[in-house]
């Protein structure tokens, strides 16, 4: 029996889908069976970032409607045999989802996989509510800026009131990924510090991902950045995936840039 | 100590011209024998010796108290007494209201109020956690928040207690509170004569040693 994790953010464009793709691949690289489900119905992106857009035959809406079986719709990753993908429908809209269908699909996937990762749509509408409804845990992705934090706060509030688990008196575990951190801007006070973000959201920190130009190119190529051993964002996703698989890996302080360290050392020897 | 009270007639005048002044008193000094003169303006030595010669009592450059009728005085005293009684009564009523509310209708919460949440509390609220940006709290009674407020709060109670909250939107009894005035400690916010009064309550650091 696996665990269902919803990747949420509230605000769009903070890197939710990129995080989903990288964590999925990272988990698979740790020899765990993982499936990624794109819940952003009508605006699917995850297939492109995984480089699987040509392989989509059936989507998850067809599975839920009984037009195809889960086995038929699952797409195996080209890079790792532990990673599978279930695409969103590009032609339908969010209204096709209902609680019963979602629960049936999620339960079925949970039996087959160690990790079921659901990529939530941006916003807090019905599509979002269906994504979080049957999740055991949530990963909240934010950027170090006030609008992202406030939207994430709202999304967490809805998670805490609409989740199936919470309604049964249990708690949904919530983890935070701070994405696109620019060390120099944090040091100069232009960007929010991790401590301040944690203070506002008060959930557990899962990892910090620095800003990395390589991410855009990796997404365009359909090869998640975690595959690039030299990329700092890729390394950060590697650490986060390992933490999700139960390894104890210390937080790396990506808020101190190397150049900043050199400047400080130079200051000492002046 | 012994003291006596006299009623004195006062004649008040101002010196413009020495000659004119002496001529006037030469003609009328018998009329002023029982009067106290209050003189303004330049008092030359010539006039001084003149007044002493005529044994006239005088004060120079003294401002006299404005006279009031007995009736006006009595009315004033009466209204003061009434005002005092009314304000005492109001204070007692407010105190009764406050104590009954605090005992009967106090909500205590220790959860973070996240963005998008709207809390409507009938009565007093003691909140031991943050109010995040985008959240709203309305109370009919007293509001006490012990952590930072970044959302909007509307309080209609007797007072509020808040810590420094530079991002908050605070409206107390319909009046917007300037959040820059809140110091980095617990502050008491009250409304007196349509004016917001902010008083720091607890010291920033308590020294237990």
Q: What is the mean pLDDT of residues A29-57?
A: 93
Give the pLDDT band (50/70/90) at residue B15.
confident
pLDDT the model gives residue B202? 62
Give the pLDDT band (50/70/90) at residue B158.
confident
Measured between CA atoms, the residue of chain B closest to residue A203 is B112
Residue A244, pLDDT above cutoff 70? yes
Q: What is the mean pLDDT of residues B21-33?
A: 81
Residue A141, pLDDT above cutoff 70? yes
| Residues B123 and B140 sit within 8 Å (Cβ to Cβ) | yes
CA distances from A215 to A5, A183, B130, B157 (A): 23, 17, 35, 53
Interface touch B114/A146, C-beta < 8 Å? no
Which is more confident, A90 or A212?
A: A212
Give the 3-state secondary structure of residue A204. Answer: strand
**CB neighbours of residue B123 within 10 Å:** 15
Note which residues in 150-209 of chain A have CB less than 8 A from chain B: 150-151, 153-154, 156-158, 160, 199-200, 202
Which candidate from A146, A158, A202 shows the least CB-CB separation from B112?
Answer: A202
The closest alpha carbon to A21, from A58, A56, A1, A49, belongs to: A49
Give the pLDDT band (50/70/90) at residue B62.
confident
Note which residues in 25-64 of chain A have CB less than 8 A from chain B: none
Tell me which of A84-98, A204-218, B21-35, B194-208 is least confident. B194-208
What DSSP letter does each residue of B63-129 carry, written as one string?
A: PPPPP--HHHHHHHHHHHHHHHHHHHHHHHHHHHHHHHHHHHSEEEE-S-B-TT-EEEESSEEEE-S
| Residues A220 and A191 sit within 8 Å (Cβ to Cβ) | no
Vertex B9: Cα angle to B8 and B13 (nearest 5): 130
pLDDT in tens, B163-176: 999 999 999 998 89
What DSSP letter does each residue of B159-185 carry, written as one string?
A: -EEE---TT-EEEETTEEE-GGG--SS
Residue B18, pLDDT above cutoff 90? no
| Residues B170 and B153 sit within 8 Å (Cβ to Cβ) | yes
Residue A204, pLDDT above cutoff 80? yes
CB pairs under 8 A between A and B: 32
| Residues B183 and B164 sit within 8 Å (Cβ to Cβ) | yes
pLDDT the model gives residue A75? 96
Residue A248, pLDDT above cutoff 70? yes
pLDDT the model gives residue B77? 76
Rounded Cα distance, B139 and A60, in Å: 46
Which is more confident, B139 or B14?
A: B139
Residue A191, pLDDT above cutoff 60? yes
**pLDDT > 70 fraction of chain A, expressed in percent and rounded:** 95
pLDDT in tens, B169-202: 999 998 899 989 898 888 999 888 888 899 887 6
Which is more confident, A151 or B7?
A: A151
Report the topology of domain A3-268. Rossmann fold (3.40.50)
Cα torsion B108, B111, B114, B117 to 10°: value is -40
Chain-wide mean pLDDT for chain B?
Answer: 83
- What are the structural domain ranges in chain A? 3-268
- What are the structural domain ranges in chain B? 9-60, 102-200
pLDDT the model gives residue A183? 92
Report the topology of domain B102-200. Pectate Lyase C-like (2.160.20)
Which candidate from B112, B114, B150 shows the least CB-CB separation from A154?
Answer: B114
ipTM of the complex: 0.82
Residues of A in contact with B152 (CB under 8 A): none
DSSP code, position A15 = S
The closest alpha carbon to A181, from A229, A139, A232, A219, belongs to: A232
Distance from CA of A36 to the nearest CA of B (A): 29
What is this structure's pTM? 0.73
Tokens of A96: 């096709």
């Amino acid at each position: 029996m696996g665990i269902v994790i919803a990747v949420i953010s509230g605000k769009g464009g903070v890197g939710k889908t990129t995080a989903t793709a990288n964590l999925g691949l990272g988990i698979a690289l740790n020899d765990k069976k993982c499936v990624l489900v794109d819940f952003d119905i009508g605006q699917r992106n995850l297939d492109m970032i995984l480089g699987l857009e040509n392989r989509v035959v059936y989507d998850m809406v067809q599975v839920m409607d009984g037009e195809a079986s889960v086995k038929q719709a699952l797409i195996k990753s080209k890079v790792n045999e532990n990673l599978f993908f279930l695409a969103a429908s590009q032609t339908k809209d969010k209204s096709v989802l209902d609680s019963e269908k979602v629960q049936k699909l999620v339960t079925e996937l949970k039996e087959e996989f160690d990790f079921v990762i659901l990529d939530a749509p941006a916003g807090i509408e019905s599509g979002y509510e269906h994504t979080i409804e049957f999740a055991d845990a949530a990963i909240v992705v934010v950027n170090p800026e006030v609008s992202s934090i406030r939207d994430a706060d709202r999304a967490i509030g809805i998670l805490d009131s609409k989740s199936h688990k919470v309604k049964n008196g249990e708690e949904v575990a919530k983890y935070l990924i701070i994405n696109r951190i620019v060390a120099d801007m944090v040091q100069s006070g232009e960007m929010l510090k991790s401590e301040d973000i944690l203070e506002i959201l008060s959930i557990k920190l899962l990892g910090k991902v620095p800003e990395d130009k390589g991410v855009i190119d990796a997404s365009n190529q359909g090869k998640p950045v975690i595959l690039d051993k030299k990329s700092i964002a890729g390394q950060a996703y590697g650490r986060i995936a390992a933490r999700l698989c139960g390894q104890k890996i210390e937080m790396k302080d990506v808020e101190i840039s190397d150049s900043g360290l050199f400047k400080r050392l130079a200051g000492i020897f002046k | 100590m012994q003291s006596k009270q006299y009623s004195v007639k006062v004649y008040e005048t101002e010196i413009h011209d020495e000659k004119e002044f002496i001529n006037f008193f030469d003609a009328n000094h018998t009329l002023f024998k029982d009067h106290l003169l209050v003189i303004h303006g330049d008092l030359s030595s010539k006039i001084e010796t003149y007044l002493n010669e005529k044994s006239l009592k005088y004060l120079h450059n003294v401002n006299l108290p404005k006279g009031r009728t007995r009736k006006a005085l009595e009315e004033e005293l009466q209204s003061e007494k009434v005002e005092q009684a009314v304000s005492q009564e109001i204070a007692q009523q407010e105190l009764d209201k406050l104590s009954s509310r605090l005992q009967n209708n106090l909500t205590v919460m220790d959860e973070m109020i996240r963005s998008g949440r709207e809390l409507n509390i009938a009565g007093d609220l003691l909140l031991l956690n943050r109010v995040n940006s985008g959240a709203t709290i309305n109370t009919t009674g007293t509001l006490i928040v012990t952590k930072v407020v970044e959302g909007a709060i509307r309080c209609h109670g007797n007072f509020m207690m808040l810590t420094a909250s530079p991002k908050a939107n605070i409206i107390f009894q319909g009046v917007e509170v300037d959040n820059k005035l809140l110091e980095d400690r617990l502050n008491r916010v009250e409304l007196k004569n349509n004016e917001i009064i902010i008083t720091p309550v607890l010291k920033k650091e308590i020294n237990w040693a």
